[in-house]
Structures are given as structure tokens and as C-alpha cells.
Amino acid sequence: MIGGNGFIGPAVVERLLTLGHDVTLFHRGAKKIFTELNHITGDRRQIADYAAGFRSLAPDVVLDLILSNGRQAQELMRTFKGITQRVVALSSMDVYRIEGRCAAADQIADLSATGNPAAQKHLYVGGRRV
């Protein structure tokens, strides 16, 4: 999981643990909760630098809680290509989009209600699949 100890992270981590999943957290190390879990300390802005460590984990799914723009989305997908079969971005961005306070809101496609099967397999940024 990229993030995991911020606004929505602890609730997501708790739920995944309750469901019996193994969870590793990648974060900048500013605060460390869930000390019983595996942690990778690093900079989200340099995520490609940690690809070898991610590869050694061989995650089934990567959950990104701090994706904030199209460039990060593309880098995320490039970094995890061949490492995992599924990448999920979970964000509170829509809360800010409603109030018009999200600078990247126009870059992230909202496909949650489209019923589009491709939306379940790919990330769309700026109307293009990445």
C-alpha cells in the first residue's frame, strides 16, 4: 500500500487486516503506525527508485492512497508493470472536487459509475488509459 497512515489509510489498513490480507506500507516515514507490519520508507515522488524492492514483495495488488495527479498515475503504472496484475487508486479527492478545491480533479477520470469493464482493469487519466 502506498500511503496508509494518513487520512483514510488507517481505516483501509484495519479492514484489509481484518479480512486476512498481508499488508506492506510504503510511506515517507513521517509517522509510523501499524508497527507490526512491513514498512518501506521512501519518497512517493521518486517511486520508480523503489521498483526492485516492490518486485521482491511480489504483491498481488498495489493500493495507492496518495495519487494526486496524472504524472504520478503514469509513473505508478510504469513502476508496477510486470510486478503486479492490479493497481487500485483510492482517494478522498472527490470530497475536494465537490468543493472545487482539487487542482487535479480534471485530470482523473471518474469511471466508477460508467459500468465500463475497462475501468476495472485500467487507470484513466485525462480521458486516456495509462
Of the pLDDT bands very low, low, confident and very high (cuts 50, 70, 90), residue 26 is: very high
- At residue 96, the pLDDT reads 54
Q: Are 50 and 40 within 8 A, CB to CB?
A: yes
pTM of the model: 0.70
- Which residue did the predictor score with more confidence, 93 or 1? 1
Instruction: Read off the pLDDT of each residue in 6-31 and give the average, rounded to a whole number.
Output: 90
Query: Which pLDDT tens digit goes with each residue over 46-87?
Result: 999 999 999 999 999 999 998 878 888 889 999 999 999 999
Report the 3 state secondary structure along the chain.
Answer: CECCCCCCHHHHHHHHHHCCCCCEEEECCCCCCCCCCEEEECCHHHHHHHHHHHHHHCCCEEEECCCCCHHHHHHHHHHHCCCCCEEEECCCHHHHHHCCCCCCCCCECCCCCCCCHHHHCCCEECCEEC
